[in-house]
């Protein structure tokens, strides 16, 4: 009953509003009427997004007087309000760099700029004042908006109006901006070998000025004007092709936030120019022009709602950089995925070698704990010890179970890459099986060595020195309780470790991308000082080594210090902040068992074991989930489609559960698993 009354009230409000629009002769009321019109179109909680617009369209179809009145209102608003800023600025990144735009957003969030109250932009901000208005605007089918624009904008096609002049001025401004951006080094340096590649950015300006001259003359035939417009569009297409070429080659040349920002800004202005040229070309593809108008309208409303959004600025600019980071991690991750049984066995022994390194790193950590140093240097030494161990793992090819997820997640997401020929959820399911069994082999290889070796190292230390590795039985018992989820926050700390693992993976991918983008290897080989320092082919070997390994080294060093300093951060701020890493926790489990002389009750055996397994689970879950999320988003795959992948993975698990533990004799094909899908 209440819902019915609300619908009747809204219908009454709309009818009352259209009556006022029809009868109004006061142009000063048009601003308020426009705002009220948007308010009546805005959906409610139980009201479909398109209901209000459909009701208005029905009234317009029945009442020609209303149609003329609405057209008169829109003509007045667009001709008296400056709409130039909408086309030149709204929805287009500002000049400068990503960081200058970021600081500008921060300033404007604190103290917004003085609004230009005579602009169309200001009217839209007042009408679409809710931060989520863009959502319902996009939910309405484009056909409804096209029909509305056909009616409402019917009087805007006349020549010699202020609105047409705004469009001409806007096109001129955008054209000069695109010419300038086309000459920017960030955009042109990757294509500098092609002497004529930058020509379209200059040529579009020449063609556009000729087109604008014809528009202003008012005597040009429609066919000639359309021919001139097509010349402009051909040059704009050539500019877009250059941008796409640069983006397609970022895997070879790398990329940066600066380049990503410039490419995005240039592409936005080109897209805007396409639409405006169509606006100024009467009779040229009217349906296409109207559809572009809807796209522009939706983009403008979203930009109005998000005009000071820092997260939106970051999201728009970080996509290309995140893609390249994910790509470099994907290339690394492929080395952590086993397909054949030979690879699986080799990977197991690689993990066993990693267990040896971690056991000795845990021993050194326990010995450092015996040395009394100022807190900062104590934790610095912990971090330095971890960093050396992780770099040693990386350089020797030994594997650490928890280092895999951030790499394998990107490799897994690459099977969903929309830039590489489409999305394959079946391929993802098969790759997931490989990732899972590879992760199992890595955990098994690490743990089968870490526990017994750490136990033997603890025994050997006491035998050689006469003192236990851990101070006393109380510290030995605490080393067990620290892994017990009932007596500590071990699993929370394991999640924090997962975040550290993810962050180190991002840093590795970022540095790998930066090494390529900055041509580090070639620059080192040409550096005069380095050429004097390294003789013969040594410099070439050093530079090649850094190109291959710098990202991995930086990521592993950063991980070591993140893990080393974590507890100090918690103590400094008085918050529960620490780390738990499965292999290090397993080593301390072994130290505790030896420190208690093997006198453990069932409680400690069971719950410490459960705790260590849970630590490994949360290490993997958090780092893998974060890395997979970034990799999937950077590849343009909607998260809403992932449940389909989950169903396919489950089907694979049910049909061939053994594949998730040990590789089959021959590589499993999609047809073997998903016959019903074909």
pLDDT tens-place string over residues 630-652: 767 666 666 666 787 788 888 88
In this predicted model, what pLDDT tens digit does every residue of 454-506 receive, in sequence order?
999 999 999 999 899 988 888 999 999 999 999 999 999 999 999 998 888 87
- pLDDT attached to residue 326: 56
In a domain, 615, yes or no: yes
- Of all residues in the chain, the percent with pLDDT exceeding 90 is 29
- Read off the pLDDT of each residue in 29-39 and give the average, rounded to a whole number: 91
Give the helix ranges, DSSP H, for 280-309: 286-305
- Domain range for 369 is 326-677
Looking at per-residue pLDDT, the higher value among 514 and 389 belongs to 389
- Read off φ and ψ for residue 82, nearest 5 degrees: -70, 110
In this predicted model, what pLDDT tens digit does every residue of 110-161 receive, in sequence order?
888 777 888 888 899 999 999 899 999 999 998 899 888 888 776 666 656 7
In this predicted model, what pLDDT tens digit does every residue of 162-176 receive, in sequence order?
888 888 889 999 999
Q: Are 273 and 246 in contact (CB under 8 A)?
A: no
In a domain, 44, yes or no: no
Quick one: pLDDT band at residue 626, thresholds 50, 70, 90?
A: confident
In a domain, 667, yes or no: yes
- pLDDT attached to residue 413: 62
Alpha carbons 321 and 256: distance in angstroms, whole number: 6
Say if residue 95's pLDDT is above 50.
yes
Average pLDDT, the chain: 82
In this predicted model, what pLDDT tens digit does every residue of 228-266 receive, in sequence order?
988 999 999 998 888 888 877 766 666 666 777 788 888
Quick one: pLDDT band at residue 3, thresholds 50, 70, 90?
A: very low
- pLDDT attached to residue 327: 55
Closest by alpha carbon to 470, among 484, 485, 454? Answer: 454
Alpha carbons 134 and 128: distance in angstroms, whole number: 8
Alpha carbons 463 and 172: distance in angstroms, whole number: 84
- pLDDT attached to residue 610: 95
- pLDDT attached to residue 560: 95
Alpha carbons 482 and 494: distance in angstroms, whole number: 11
Say if residue 367's pLDDT is above 80.
yes
- pLDDT attached to residue 399: 82
Looking at per-residue pLDDT, the higher value among 610 and 408 belongs to 610
* CA 127 to chain CA mean position, Å: 31
In a domain, 81, yes or no: no
In a domain, 113, yes or no: no
Q: In the chain, how many domains are there? A: 1
Alpha carbons 503 and 507: distance in angstroms, whole number: 6
How would you classify residue 636: left for phi > 0, otherwise alpha for psi between -120 and 50, otherwise beta?
Answer: left
- pLDDT attached to residue 409: 62
- pLDDT attached to residue 157: 64
In a domain, 471, yes or no: yes
In this predicted model, what pLDDT tens digit does every residue of 560-571 receive, in sequence order?
999 999 999 999
Looking at per-residue pLDDT, the higher value among 409 and 451 belongs to 451
Radius of gyration of the chain (CA): 32
- pLDDT attached to residue 330: 46
In a domain, 643, yes or no: yes
Quick one: pLDDT band at residue 366, thresholds 50, 70, 90?
A: very high
- Of all residues in the chain, the percent with pLDDT exceeding 70 is 84
In this predicted model, what pLDDT tens digit does every residue of 269-296 receive, in sequence order?
998 898 888 878 766 545 666 777 788 8
**β-pair partners for 119:** 82
In this predicted model, what pLDDT tens digit does every residue of 580-616 receive, in sequence order?
999 999 999 999 999 998 888 899 999 999 999 999 9
Quick one: pLDDT band at residue 576, thresholds 50, 70, 90?
A: very high
In this predicted model, what pLDDT tens digit does every residue of 100-112 receive, in sequence order?
777 877 887 788 8
In a domain, 56, yes or no: no
DSSP string, 402-467: GGHHHHHHHHHHGGG-GGGTS--HHHHHHHHHHHHHHHHHHHHHHHHHHHHHHHHHHHHHHHHHSS
pTM: 0.70
């Amino acid at each position: 009953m209440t819902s019915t009354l609300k619908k009747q009230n809204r219908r009454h409000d709309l009818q009352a509003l259209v009556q006022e629009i029809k009868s109004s002769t006061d142009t000063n009321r048009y601003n308020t009427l426009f705002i009220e019109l948007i308010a009546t179109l805005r959906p409610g909680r139980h009201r479909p997004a398109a209901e209000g617009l459909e009701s208005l369209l029905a009234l317009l179809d029945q009442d020609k007087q209303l149609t003329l009145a609405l057209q008169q209102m829109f003509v007045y608003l667009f001709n008296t309000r400056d709409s130039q800023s909408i086309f030149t600025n709204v929805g287009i990144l500002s000049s400068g760099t990503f960081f200058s735009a970021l600081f500008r957003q921060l300033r404007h969030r604190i103290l917004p700029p003085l609004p230009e109250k005579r602009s169309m932009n200001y009217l839209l901000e007042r009408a679409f004042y809710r931060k989520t208005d863009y959502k319902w605007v996009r939910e309405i089918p484009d056909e409804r908006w096209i029909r509305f624009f056909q009616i409402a904008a019917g009087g805007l096609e006349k020549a010699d109006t202020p609105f047409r002049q705004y469009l001409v001025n806007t096109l001129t401004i955008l054209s000069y901006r695109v010419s300038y951006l086309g000459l920017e080094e960030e955009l042109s340096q990757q294509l500098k070998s092609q002497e004529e590649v930058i020509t379209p950015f200059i040529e579009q300006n020449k063609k556009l000025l000729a087109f604008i001259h014809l528009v202003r003359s008012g005597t040009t035939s429609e066919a000639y004007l359309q021919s001139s417009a097509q010349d402009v569009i051909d040059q704009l297409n050539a500019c877009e092709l250059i941008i796409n070429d640069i983006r397609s080659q970022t895997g070879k040349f790398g990329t940066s936030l600066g380049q990503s920002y410039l490419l995005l800004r240039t592409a936005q202005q080109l897209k805007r120019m396409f639409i405006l040229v169509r606006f100024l070309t009467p009779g040229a593809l009217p349906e296409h022009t109207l559809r572009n108008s809807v796209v522009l309208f939706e983009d403008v409303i979203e930009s109005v709602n998000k005009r000071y959004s820092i997260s939106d600025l970051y999201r728009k600019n970080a996509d290309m950089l995140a893609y390249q980071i994910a790509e470099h991690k994907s290339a690394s991750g492929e080395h952590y995925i086993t397909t054949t049984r030979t690879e699986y066995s080799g990977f197991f022994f690689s993990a066993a070698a990693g267990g040896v390194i971690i056991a000795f790193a845990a021993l050194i950590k326990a010995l450092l704990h015996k040395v009394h140093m100022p807190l900062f240097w104590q934790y610095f030494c912990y971090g330095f010890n971890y960093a050396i161990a992780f770099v040693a793992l990386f350089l020797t090819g030994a594997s650490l179970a928890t280092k895999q997820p951030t790499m394998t997640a990107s490799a897994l997401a690459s099977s969903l890459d929309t830039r590489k020929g489409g999305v394959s959820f079946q391929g993802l399911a098969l790759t997931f099986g490989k990732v899972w069994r590879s992760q199992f082999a890595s955990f098994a290889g690490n743990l089968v060595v870490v526990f017994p070796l750490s136990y033997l190292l603890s025994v050997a230390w006491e035998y050689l020195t006469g003192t236990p590795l851990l101070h006393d039985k109380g510290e030995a018992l605490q080393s067990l309780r620290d892994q017990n989820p009932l007596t500590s926050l071990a699993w929370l700390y394991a999640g924090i470790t997962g975040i550290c693992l993810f962050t180190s993976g991002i840093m590795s991918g970022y540095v790998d991308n930066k090494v390529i983008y900055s041509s580090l290897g070639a620059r080192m080989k040409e550096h005069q000082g380095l050429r004097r320092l390294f003789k013969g082919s040594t410099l070439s070997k050093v530079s090649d080594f850094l190109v291959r390994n710098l990202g991995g080294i930086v990521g592993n060093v950063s991980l070591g210090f993140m893990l080393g300093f974590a507890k100090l951060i918690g103590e400094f701020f008085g918050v529960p902040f620490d780390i738990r890493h499965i292999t290090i926790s397993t080593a301390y489990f072994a130290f505790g068992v030896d420190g208690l002389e093997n006198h453990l009750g069932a409680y400690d055996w069971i719950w410490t074991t459960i705790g260590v397994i849970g630590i490994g689970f949360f290490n993997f879950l958090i780092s893998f989930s974060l890395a997979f999320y970034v990799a999937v988003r950077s590849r343009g795959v909607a998260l809403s489609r992932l449940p389909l992948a989950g169903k396919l993975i489950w089907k694979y698990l049910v049909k061939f559960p053994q594949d998730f533990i040990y590789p089959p004799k021959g590589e499993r094909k999609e047809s073997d698993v998903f016959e019903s899908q074909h």
